[in-house]
Chain A
Amino acid sequence: MTLVATERAAPTLRLEWRSDGSLWALRGDEERAVAVRRCFPWSEPARYLSLRDSEEEEFAVVRDPADLDVRSRAALEMALAVAGFVFEVTRLLEIDEEVEIRHWRVETRQGPRTFQTRLDDWPRLLPHGGLLIRDLAGDLYHLASPERLDRKSQDLLWAFVD
Chain B
Amino acid sequence: MSTLHYLDDQIIARYTAQPSRLPLELRREIERAWQGAPVQLYALADLDQSLRLTETWVVLGPRHVASARRVGEDWEIRSVERSRIEALREAPGLSANTLSILGSPGEPALLLVRYTHRQRRTFENLRFILEEQLEVGARDIPAVDPDRVYADSIARPVREAQALVAGHQTAVIRRLLGYLKPYRRQLSLGMAAATLITLVSLVPPYLAGHLIDRVVRPAQAGTLPLARAWTIAWLAVAAMALVYLVRQPAVHIRLRLMSILGEWVARDLRAELYEHIQRLSLAFFSRKRTGSLITRVSADTDRLWDFLAFGVVDVSLSLVMLVGLGSVLLSLDWRLGLVMTLPVPVFCWLIYRHSERITRLFIRAWRKWSRVTDVLSDTIPGIRVVKAFNQEQREIGRFGERNEDVTTEFNRIHASWTTFWPLLMLGVHMMTVMVWVFAVPRLLGNGAQLPVGTFVSFLLYTTMFAAPIEVIGQMARTINRATTSAHRVFEVLDTEPEVRDVATPVRLEPVHGRVTFEHVTFGYDGVRQVLRAMSFDVHPGELIGLVGPSGGGKTTIVNLIARFYDVTGGTIRVDGVDLRRLDTGHYRRQIGMVLQDPYLFHGTVLDNIRYGLPEASLGHVVAAAQAANAHDFITKLQHGYDTVVGERGHTLSGGERQRVSIARAILHNPRILILDEATSSVDTETEREIQQALERLVSGRTVFAIAHRLSTLRKASRLFVIEDGRLVEHGTHAELLAKSDGKYRRLYELQLQLQ
* Interface of A toward B, CB cutoff 8 Å: 18-22, 33, 35, 41, 54, 81-87, 97-101, 103, 110-116, 118, 120, 122, 135-140, 158-160, 162
Interface residues in B86-133 by Cβ distance below 8 A to A read 89-96, 98, 100, 102, 106-109, 112, 114, 116-118, 120
Can you list 21 contacts pairing A with B, beta carbon distance less than 8 Å? Answer: A18-B106, A19-B106, A21-B108, A82-B51, A82-B93, A83-B94, A85-B93, A110-B47, A110-B53, A111-B52, A114-B15, A114-B16, A114-B17, A135-B157, A137-B120, A138-B117, A158-B360, A159-B361, A159-B363, A159-B367, A160-B367
Q: State which residues 46-80 of B face A: CB under 8 Å.
A: 47, 51-53
Which of A22, A41, A99 has the most chain B CB atoms inside 10 A of its CB? A99
- Whole-angstrom CA separation of A136 from B96 in the bound complex: 15
Contact B117 A137 (CB under 8 A): yes
Let me know if A19 and B16 touch, CB within 8 A.
Answer: no
Beyond A19-B108, A99-B488, is A86–B363 a contact (Cβ under 8 Å)? no
| Given A113-B53, A139-B116, A160-B367, A82 and B98 contact (CB-CB distance below 8 Å) | yes
Q: Which residue of B lies closest to A87 (CB)?
A: B95
**Stretch touching chain A among B160-168, B424-432, B585-593:** B160-168
* A136 lies within 8 A of B158 (CB): yes
Which B residue sits closest to A33, measured CB to CB? Answer: B89
Q: How far is the CA of A43 from the CA of B357 in the complex (A)?
A: 35
Interface-central residue, A21, A54, A111, A116, by most chain B CB under 10 Å: A21
Nearest opposing residue in chain A for B11, CB measure = A116
* Cβ contacts under 8 Å, B93 to chain A: 35, 82-85
Indicate if the CB atoms of A86 and B94 lie closer than 8 Å: yes
Q: For B162, what are the chain A residues with a Cβ–Cβ distance below 8 Å?
A: 98-101, 116
If A85-B51, A99-B488 are given as contacts, then 5 extra A-B residue pairs at C-beta distance below 8 Å, sorted by A number, are: A19-B106, A86-B95, A138-B95, A139-B118, A140-B94
Asked, given contacts A21-B112, A82-B51, A110-B47, whether A140 binds B95 with beta carbons under 8 Å apart, the answer is: yes
B47 CB contacts on chain A under 8 angstroms: 85, 110
Cα(A133)–Cα(B604), bound, Å: 47
CB distance from A152 to the nearest CB of B (A): 14
Give the complex CA separation of A139 and B119 in angstroms.
10
Q: Which residues of A contact B367 (CB under 8 A)?
A: 122, 159-160
- Whether the pair B109, A111 counts as a contact (CB closer than 8 A) is no
The reply to whether A139 and B95 form a contact with Cβ atoms under 8 Å apart is yes
CA distance A86 to B51 in the complex (A): 9
Question: In the docked arrangement, what's the CA distance between A140 and B116, Å?
Answer: 9
Whether B484 is near chain A, meaning CB under 8 Å from some CB there, is yes
**A116–B91 touching, CB < 8 Å:** no
Residues on B with C-beta less than 8 A from A114 are 15-17
B657 within 8 A of A: no
B→A interface (CB under 8 Å)? 15-17, 47, 51-53, 89-96, 98, 100, 102, 106-109, 112, 114, 116-118, 120, 157-158, 160-164, 360-361, 363-364, 367, 370, 405, 483-484, 487-488
A115 CA / B162 CA spacing, docked (Å): 13
Shortest 7 CB-CB contacts between residues of A and residues of B: A111-B53, A35-B91, A85-B96, A136-B157, A138-B117, A137-B118, A159-B363
- Distance of A21 Cα from B17 Cα, bound (Å): 29
Contact partner, A82, options B15, B108, B114, Cβ 8 Å: B114
Q: Which residue of A lies closest to B93 (CB)?
A: A83
**Smallest beta-carbon distance A20→chain B, Å:** 5
CA distance A52 to B476 in the complex (A): 53
Residue in contact with A100 in the complex, picked from B109, B163, B361, CB distance below 8 Å: B163
Which chain B residues lie closer than 8 Å to A41 at the CB level? 94
Which chain A positions have C-beta within 8 A of B112? 21
Q: Closest chain A residue to B365 by CB distance?
A: A159
Q: Which of B51, B114, B484 has a CB less than 8 Å from the CB of A99?
A: B484
Residues of A within 8 A of B370 (CB): 120, 122
Q: In whole angstroms, how far apart are the Cα atoms of A125 and B183 in the complex? A: 52
Among the listed B106, B109, B157, which residue makes an inter-chain contact with A137, where contact means beta carbons less than 8 Å apart? B157
Which B residues touch A81, using CB under 8 A?
51
Most buried by A among B47, B91, B161, B370: B91
Contacts of A22 in B (CB 8 A): 89, 91, 100, 109
A101-B162, A114-B17, A137-B118 known; A35+B92 contact, CB < 8 A: yes
A19 to chain B, nearest CB (A): 4
CA distance A140 to B93 in the complex (A): 10
Complex CA gap A82/B100 in Å reads 13
Q: Which residues of B contact A20 (CB under 8 A)?
A: 89, 100, 102, 106-109
Q: Which one of A19, A99, A103, A162 lies within 8 Å of B15 (CB-CB)?
A: A103
Q: How far in angstroms is the closest Cβ of chain A from B297?
A: 16
Tell me, in angstroms, the Cα distance from A98 to B120 when the chains sit together. Answer: 25
Are the C-beta atoms of B161 and A101 separated by less than 8 Å?
yes
CA distance A3 to B106 in the complex (A): 44
Max chain A Cβ within 10 angstroms of own Cβ: one of B114, B161, B484: B161
In the complex, chain A residues whose CB is within 8 Å of the CB of B92: 35
Q: Are A99 and B487 in contact (CB under 8 A)?
A: yes
Given contacts A99-B484, A110-B47, contact A116 B161 (CB under 8 A): yes
* CB-nearest residue of chain B to A18: B106
Residues in B whose Cβ lies below 8 Å from that of A112: 17, 53
Interchain CA distance A139-B116 in the complex, whole Å:
7
Given A110-B53, A122-B367, A137 and B116 contact (CB-CB distance below 8 Å) = yes
In the complex, A138→B370 CA distance in Å?
21
- Please, which residues of chain A bring their CB within 8 A of the CB of B158? 101, 116, 136
Bound: A54/B92 CA distance, A:
10
Check if A139 sits within 8 Å of B360, measured CB to CB: no
Enumerate chain A residues within 8 angstroms of B96, measured Cβ to Cβ.
82-83, 85
Q: Tell me the bound Cα distance from A19 to B109 in angstroms.
A: 7
Chain B positions within 8 Å of A135 at CB level: 118, 157
A15 to B674, CA, bound (A): 52
| Shortest CB distance A60–B (Å) | 16
Nearest to A85 among chain B residues (CB) is B96
A18 and B87 alpha carbons, distance in the complex (Å): 15
Chain A residue numbers with a CB within 8 Å of B116 are 137, 139
Q: How far is the CA of A99 from the CA of B363 in the complex (A)?
A: 15
Q: How far is the CA of A85 from the CA of B92 in the complex (A)?
A: 10
The CA of A101 and the CA of B109, in the complex, are separated in Å by 40
Measured CB to CB, the closest approach of chain B to A112, in angstroms, equals: 7
Q: Which residue of A lies closest to B405 (CB)?
A: A162
How far, in whole Å, are A120 and B291 apart by their CA atoms in the complex? 13
Q: Which residues of B contact A54 (CB under 8 A)?
A: 89-90
A35, B93: Cα distance in complex, Å = 9
B528 to chain A, nearest CB (A): 18
Residue from the set B90, B367, B370 with the largest chain A CB neighbour count within 10 Å:
B367
CB contacts (< 8 Å) of B94 on chain A: these are 41, 83-86, 140
Residues of A within 8 A of B100 (CB): 20-22
Q: Which residues of B contact A116 (CB under 8 A)?
A: 15, 157-158, 161-162
